[in-house]
Amino acid sequence: MMRQSKKMEAIPFSPIRKIFAEVDKLKSEGVDVIGLGIGEPDFDTPAHITDAMVAATRNGATHYTPNKGIPELRKAICRKLKDEDTLEYDSEEIICTVGVSEGVFVSLSAFLDPGDEVLVPDPSWLNYSHVPTMNGATSIGYPLLEKNNFQIDVRDLERLVTPRTKMLVILDPSNPLGGVQERETLEKVARFAIAHDLLVISDEIYEKILFDGRKHYSIAAFPGMRERTIVLNGFAKAYAMTGWRIGYIAAPADLIQVMNRMHMYIVTHTSSQAQWGAFAALEGSQEPVREMVEEFRKRRDYVCERLNRMKGVSCLVPGGAFYIFLNISGTGKNSEEFTRYLLHEANVAVVPGTAFGACGEGYIRISYATSIENLEKAMGRIERALDQLEQPVPAL
């Protein structure tokens, strides 16, 4: 077999995949597994978005578009950023991407050299650890801890920054934590980034899934931050469009021109149909988003309430996204063991916290992007599985 490149030798298959391989095996044996692992809304894309895509396709939107995307969509993105986030961008400062995933790849790869370091949340969505490795750079995890309400502690950033640190990644709201950074926290992070002259990636893909009246703040809008921030956002989570593969990058022109050169040689542009769907998503009614968020809130309340009454586990009530990071340290099992235990004893699939970084030890990620009926069934099964567990002897 042809030898893989050195950089790919260091890239493992996602540990989440291992769990899903086990889930598939159980399902093929006829076991009724409830999936609380997957990170995508269980709703269909709102009909007006799909209709707009079909109409555009019928009307000839089947050709190449400009690399950065159709001007209509880029202008709509600029209006959104201005109205909702007080961010001013020209439409030439927007690149429409193949999901936020492409934005993550391009924004890191266009600026990292071998030997560079990137400060990345621990725990965090996996791409932020592996894409730096693919570039010969190193991701350095900064801890997000339950005892700090999953807020960024700038003292950790100060401890971890070195002369090699080039970039800082923020996920707000967070996958896998569901945590939302407070305005004061972001202000401190912005001052830190300026003091150390760092380029900041702000992944805001869950910005619309916020609860209890919380407001989203983009760090790019803080003084001195626009010129050093790359905003990544998309349509997958807010508009239930995971399969469409459309997102965007917003950044100052000097950064955009670098990323656009990479983007054009990787994908040319994202699908024209997806772009017209995304345009309809931004320009049309936002009522479906509000309804979906309200449904997520009801599920979050239900699941948190149930879990916090169970033996050996507890969770903070998350402020955003559709994940619960459940503390399982009272069960006497580590994250992987507990995930396997739930899968085989309760037939409930979750993701071990360690899949997202070392700070995820002692936790599992539960996604509540599934029907309330499924959640009720899953909570009953988890509760029974916990009752059957021999409780560890508490430390004196």
**Residues that bind ligand PLP in the complex, under the rule CB under 6 A:** 39, 99-101, 125, 171, 175, 203, 205, 234, 236, 242, 247
Secondary structure of the chain: what % helix, strand, coil (to 5)? 45, 15, 40
Distances 194 to 68, 116, 154, 228, 328 between C-alpha atoms, Å: 28, 18, 13, 8, 38
Strands (E), 98-206: 117-122, 138-143, 165-171, 199-203
Q: How far is the CB of 60 from ligand PLP (least distance, A)?
A: 26
Q: How far is the CB of 330 from ligand PLP (least distance, A)?
A: 27
Give dist(CA 181, CA 265) in Å, integer. Answer: 35
Which residue number is nearest to ligand PLP in terms of Cβ? Answer: 99
Q: How far is the CB of 131 from ligand PLP (least distance, A)?
A: 11
Q: How far is the CB of 206 from ligand PLP (least distance, A)?
A: 7
Q: Nearer Cβ to ligand PLP, position 93 or 203?
A: 203
Give dist(CA 369, CA 375) in Å, integer. Answer: 9
Q: How far is the CB of 329 from ligand PLP (least distance, A)?
A: 24
Residue 118 near residue 132, CB atoms below 8 Å: yes
Q: Nearer Cβ to ligand PLP, position 76 or 241?
A: 241
Classify residue 150 as left (phi > 0), alpha (psi -120 to 50) or beta. Answer: left
Q: How far is the CB of 230 from ligand PLP (least distance, A)?
A: 13
Q: How far is the CB of 127 from ligand PLP (least distance, A)?
A: 7
What residues have CB less than 8 Å from 42, skipping those under 6 apart? 369, 370, 371
Chain CA centroid to CA 118, Å: 17
Q: Nearer Cβ to ligand PLP, position 49 or 385?
A: 49
Q: Nearer Cβ to ligand PLP, position 43 or 332?
A: 43
Q: Nearer Cβ to ligand PLP, position 132 or 247?
A: 247
Q: How far is the CB of 96 from ligand PLP (least distance, A)?
A: 11
Give dist(CA 105, CA 116) in Å, integer. Answer: 15
Token pair belonging to 84: 């909702």
Give which of 286, 304, 308 is closest to 209, Cα–Cα.
286
Q: Nearer Cβ to ligand PLP, position 222 or 244?
A: 244
Strands (E), the chain: 34-35, 94-97, 117-122, 138-143, 165-171, 199-203, 229-234, 247-250, 323-327, 348-349, 351-352, 363-367
Q: Nearer Cβ to ligand PLP, position 170 or 348?
A: 170
Q: Nearer Cβ to ligand PLP, position 125 or 142?
A: 125
Token pair belonging to 115: 């030997």
